[in-house]
Amino acid sequence: MGKVSVYKCSDYEYEKIKHIVFKSLEYSEISRKIFKNAKIFIKANLLMKKDPEDAVTTHPNLVRALSEFFIEKGCIVTIGDSPAGPFTENALKGIYSSCKMDEAANLSGAVLNYNITHSEVKAEESLRLKSFRVINAILESDFVISAAKLKTHGMMTYTGGVKNLFGVIPGLIKAEYHFKLTSEENFAHHLIDICEFIKPDYTIIDAIDCMEGNGPSNGKKRRVGLIIGGDNPHEADYIASHIASIPFYKIPTLSLAKSRNLYDVSSIVIEGDDYGDMDIKPFTLPESTNITFISDKIPGFLREYLIDRLKAKPKFIHQKCISCGHCVRNCPAKVIKMENKLPIVDLKGCISCFCCHEVCPADAIEIKRPILSKLFLKIK
Task: List contacts with ligand SF4 (CB under 6 A).
Answer: 314, 316, 321-327, 331-333, 335-336, 343, 345, 350-356, 360, 362, 364-365
Minimum distance from CB of 38 to ligand SF4 (Å)?
A: 38
3-state secondary structure 348-359: HHCCCCCHHHHH
Residue whose C-alpha is closest to residue 365's, from 323, 324, 314: 314
Mapped onto helix, strand or coil, the DSSP state of residue 265 is: helix
Instruction: Provide the minimum distance between the beta carbon of 171 and ligand SF4 in the complex, in angstroms, as a whole number.
Output: 15
Nearest distance from C-beta of residue 351 to ligand SF4, angstroms: 4
Query: Pairing between strand 202-212 and 143-153?
Result: parallel
Q: Nearer Cβ to ligand SF4, position 108 or 159?
A: 159
| Smallest gap from residue 39 Cβ to ligand SF4 (A) | 35
Cβ 326 to ligand SF4 shortest distance, Å: 4
3-state secondary structure 194-256: HHHHHCCCEEEEEEEEEEECCCCCCCEEEEEEEEEEECCHHHHHHHHHHHCCCCHHHCHHHHH
CB of 174 to ligand SF4, least distance (A): 11
Which residues touch 347 (CB under 8 Å, ≥6 apart)?
313, 335
163 sits in which H/E element: helix 161-164
* Alpha-carbon gap, residue 215 to 159, rounded angstroms: 9
Nearest approach in angstroms of CB 364 to ligand SF4 is 4
Distance of CA 278 to the CA centre of its chain: 25
Q: Which is nearer to ligand SF4, 257 or 331 (CB)?
A: 331
Q: Which is nearer to ligand SF4, 233 or 343 (CB)?
A: 343
Task: State how far the Cα of 257 lies from the Cα of 165, in Å rounded to an integer.
Answer: 15
- Spatial contact of 132 and 336, defined as CB atoms under 8 Å apart: no
